Amino acid sequence: MQLAERTWPELGEYVAEESVAVVPLGSTEQHGPHLPLATDHLIAEALASEAADRAGFLRTPPVRIGVSEHHRQFHGTMWVDPGAFRDYVESLTRNLTYHGVDRVVYVNAHGGNVQHLREVGRRLRRDRTAYAIEWMWDESIPDLVFDSFAHNGPHGGPKETAMIQHIAPELVREGKLASARDGGVVDLSAAPTQQFGARTYYDSADNSPNGVFGDQTEATAEIGAELFEAATEQLVNLLEWLDGQPFEDLMPKPHVDPQPGSGRSTSR
């Protein structure tokens, strides 16, 4: 059920019965010479839509620009400051709670958003407004992702390439897969990313000349379809689990025992 396609009476009927919403988030940033800048938000939107439809929950419009300044040297990348991103997502979520939603899953497909979505969820839970959690597709099926590729990569690699081959094949520059591999870093451990236990990089351009990692030629639409189905199943399971939890059980505990003034012995 997509919020933007419904009328307000229909949404009133939804929140009279349900309290779960799905919010897709991604980025608009470089994904090498073979994938579109839309890669992350396309994946998030497709997974959120499929899972919401299967489970019967509400899906909001997407957040398509995220925390991506570390890709800024590559043409076309867009980003917002972390604080602005957190405040925007928090405000959007509080808007949902005004209409009767008190559980939100952030369907996220961009690593740069993770810590900020976690912070937003922490804020909302702390004041008991809502329970909002971040979900990232590849982290829900790590074994399948690992087993599918000999040389995976955290950005613009075969896992994301396969997903876009499945979701939007017309946007993949198939003739650029070999050059993406040869112009990037196939094995991340070969990149000069650490010295004596310290991370020495801040930007994607510090690690990869063309901004991507892994062997993109390993990707196929068939693998993408398998990844998509497995991740969707995990997301549906999460939504159904969340829907079944008493709201109070999702909220923070008031204190751990023993509490000061409880009458219990505090001898030292």
Which residues 6+ apart lie within 8 Å of 190 measured at CB? none
Whether residue 135 lies inside any domain: the answer is yes
- Residue 208 has a pLDDT of 93
Whether residue 210 lies inside any domain: the answer is no
The total of other beta-carbon atoms located within 10 Å of residue 244's CB is 7
Domain range spanning residue 56?
3-154+227-250
C-alpha of 267 from chain center: 48
Question: Are the C-beta atoms of 117 and 176 separated by less than 8 Å?
Answer: no
Question: Does the pLDDT of residue 162 top 60, yes or no?
Answer: yes
The per-residue pLDDT for range 47-96, each reduced to its tens digit, is: 999 999 999 999 999 999 999 999 999 999 999 999 999 999 999 999 99
Residue 225 DSSP class: H
Please name the residue ranges forming H helices in 127-157.
Answer: 137-140, 142-148
| Bigger pLDDT: 260 vs 163 | 163
The per-residue pLDDT for range 244-266, each reduced to its tens digit, is: 999 999 999 888 877 776 665 55
- Residue 192 has a pLDDT of 75
Question: Does the pLDDT of residue 12 top 60, yes or no?
Answer: yes
Whether residue 66 lies inside any domain: the answer is yes
- Residue 262 has a pLDDT of 63
Query: Closest by alpha carbon to 96, among 9, 18, 7?
Result: 18
Whether residue 25 lies inside any domain: the answer is yes
Average pLDDT of 204-229?
96
- Residue 257 has a pLDDT of 78
The total number of residues written for the chain in this structure = 268
- Residue 264 has a pLDDT of 58
Interhelix angle for 39-55 vs 221-243, to 10°? 50
Question: Are the C-beta atoms of 164 and 219 separated by less than 8 Å?
Answer: no
Question: Are the C-beta atoms of 24 and 47 separated by less than 8 Å?
Answer: yes
- Residue 134 has a pLDDT of 98
81, two tokens: 């400051």
Which residues 6+ apart lie within 8 Å of 237 measured at CB? none
- Residue 193 has a pLDDT of 83
Whether residue 143 lies inside any domain: the answer is yes
pTM of the predicted model, to two decimals?
0.94
Q: Cα(219)–Cα(149) distance, rounded to whole angstroms? A: 8
Element (H, E) at 107: strand 103-108
Angle at 135 between CA 249 and CA 27, to 5 degrees: 140
Query: Closest by alpha carbon to 252, among 142, 151, 124?
Result: 124
- Residue 49 has a pLDDT of 98
The per-residue pLDDT for range 165-216, each reduced to its tens digit, is: 999 999 999 999 999 999 999 998 777 788 898 989 999 999 999 999 999 9
Whether residue 78 lies inside any domain: the answer is yes
The per-residue pLDDT for range 140-151, each reduced to its tens digit, is: 999 999 999 999
- Find the radius of gyration of the CA atoms of the chain: 21
Q: Cα(223)–Cα(229) distance, rounded to whole angstroms? A: 10
Query: Closest by alpha carbon to 109, among 63, 55, 60, 77?
Result: 63
Average pLDDT of 1-25?
96
Whether residue 185 lies inside any domain: the answer is no
C-alpha of 254 from chain center: 30
Whether residue 161 lies inside any domain: the answer is no
Q: What's the number of domains the chain is made of?
A: 1
Question: Are the C-beta atoms of 172 and 35 separated by less than 8 Å?
Answer: yes
- Residue 190 has a pLDDT of 74
CATH of the domain at 33: 3.40.50.10310
Element (H, E) at 102: none
Question: Does the pLDDT of residue 267 top 80, yes or no?
Answer: no
